Chains A and B, each alone.
Chain A
């Protein structure tokens, strides 16, 4: 009995059956797809701040419409996807799992796949639960800016000037603290009703990407996308919903050409803002 109790205690205290570790296994395994070729990490690479660094998402023989967002800022959002179509994280996770252009899972194939990965998830719902648990429990080291706000560290003069410019120029109107997103949908790019090309199985599909306007009523939402959080922004290029800007400099140049800011940004202010944005980088804790 003692040895049984000891064994059970060992099992309980090990992470073998914790949902976070199951979630990580599922997240990393390419077996979690009908053709065993793509994993969640294919597009959301943990070594690359949980994104792929590409202009638009592509996996296997699919090119989708939009830039892959990082998964590091999930706790900062009230809706998910660039157009906010998913009101909670679980629905967002289920979308690519069930989509036949991405993981292409269903209740028929999930049990077999789970066995291959040695996971105890027997339904799509369980898979989504484990993944959600894994993602919301990712541990980070606080960013320099957050430590600064807690008086745990100081920002350099350049970083402080950058922060001041960030506020004075009006960037903080949409990229509001503490999450550096207001979770609202804005049109900050010229309304692009041109057809955007995506590809599935070699077939090109052309469609205008109307953003939030394809999800809810109202002409004001045509071309509107959710403000992304700026945490980790310096590590997750390219930028905007369609990845059109390769660097933050390009983004700042774009805003300089609009009337969205309080005034034009000078070259010096740009470098200061970029220094400040670096302070929003979080480092994922090593396992």
Chain B
């Protein structure tokens, strides 16, 4: 009686811990999935499509306003969204003669002339765009140099663990 009781006594805390761990994992997974950020193509009420970084919470998708990329969209429902694989391209602007990085280079989505962002101190910018998007990058001080390239995938790998494809066209060497 006693040993069974002892075994039971040992087993119960273990079961509790195990259950707690499973419970914790499930809660964590719920939280993690509840706050997943994903890139979507968003169809607005006027028919435009934009790339939008959306947050999924409890199976609802919220599209926060992202200036220049995603106009203010009041609660988008899942039915309005299409998941489209985006191509990741790292834009890297340097001065050709000494390889020094060029900061604050303007990066535009060319067809709408939407300013997507600027290169960082290291001359780089992480671009996520649909294949075929035409990008224009412009030297910030005089607009003397610019480059246009079309986002194109070069690999089917998804190095960042997302539905991303790797693109090229982002290496830019300028003379100024």
A-side residues, CB < 8 A to B, are 64-65, 83, 85, 95, 99-101, 198, 200-201, 203, 205, 207-211, 213-219, 221-222
Select the stretch in B42-50, B111-119, B154-162 that faces chain A.
B111-119
In the complex, A174 Cα to B68 Cα: how many Å? 28
Q: Which of B114, B143, B145, B175 contacts A210 (CB 8 A)?
A: B143
B-side residues, CB < 8 A to A, are 68, 106, 108, 112-115, 138, 140-146, 175-176
Q: Determine whether the beta carbon of B143 is less than 8 Å from that of A207.
A: yes
Q: Determine whether the beta carbon of B176 is less than 8 Å from that of A200.
A: yes
Q: Determine whether the beta carbon of A64 is less than 8 Å from that of B144.
A: yes
Please give the distance in Å from A85's CB to the nearest CB on chain B: 8
Whether A205 touches B144, Cβ cut-off 8 Å, given contacts A214-B106, A214-B138, A217-B68, is: yes
Residue of A nearest to B116 (CB): A217
Q: Determine whether the beta carbon of B142 is less than 8 Å from that of A217.
A: no
Please give the distance in Å from B8's CB to the nearest CB on chain A: 69
Nearest 9 A/B pairs, CB to CB: A214-B143, A214-B138, A219-B113, A217-B115, A207-B146, A217-B114, A213-B113, A198-B144, A218-B113
Q: Contacts of B143 on A, CB cut-off 8 Å?
A: 65, 83, 207, 209-211, 214-215
Most chain A C-beta atoms within 10 Å of own C-beta, residue among B113, B142, B146, B175: B142
Please give the distance in Å from A164's CB to the nearest CB on chain B: 39
Residue of A nearest to B143 (CB): A214
Q: Determine whether the beta carbon of B144 is less than 8 Å from that of A65.
A: yes
List 27 contacting pairs A-B, 8 Å CB cutoff, sorted by A.
Answer: A64-B142, A64-B144, A65-B143, A65-B144, A83-B143, A99-B142, A198-B144, A200-B144, A200-B176, A201-B175, A203-B175, A205-B144, A205-B175, A205-B176, A207-B144, A208-B146, A209-B143, A210-B113, A210-B138, A214-B108, A214-B143, A216-B115, A217-B68, A217-B113, A219-B112, A219-B113, A221-B113
Taking chain A's interface residues, is the majority helix, strand, or loop, or is none over half, making it mixed?
A: loop
Q: Contacts of B144 on A, CB cut-off 8 Å?
A: 64-65, 198, 200, 205, 207
Q: Determine whether the beta carbon of B176 is less than 8 Å from that of A101.
A: yes
Q: Contacts of B175 on A, CB cut-off 8 Å?
A: 200-201, 203, 205
Q: Determine whether the beta carbon of A100 is less than 8 Å from that of B113.
A: no
Q: Determine whether the beta carbon of A207 is less than 8 Å from that of B113.
A: no
Please give the distance in Å from B27's CB to the nearest CB on chain A: 42
In the complex, A219 Cα to B143 Cα: how many Å? 16
Q: Contacts of B138 on A, CB cut-off 8 Å?
A: 210, 214
Q: Contacts of A213 on B, CB cut-off 8 Å?
A: 113
In the complex, A222 Cα to B106 Cα: how many Å? 14
Q: Determine whether the beta carbon of B106 is less than 8 Å from that of A65.
A: no
Residue of A nearest to B174 (CB): A205
Whether A207 touches B115, Cβ cut-off 8 Å, given contacts A200-B175, A200-B176, A214-B106, is: no
In the complex, A133 Cα to B138 Cα: how many Å? 32
Please give the distance in Å from B54's CB to the nearest CB on chain A: 21
Q: Determine whether the beta carbon of B146 is less than 8 Å from that of A214.
A: yes
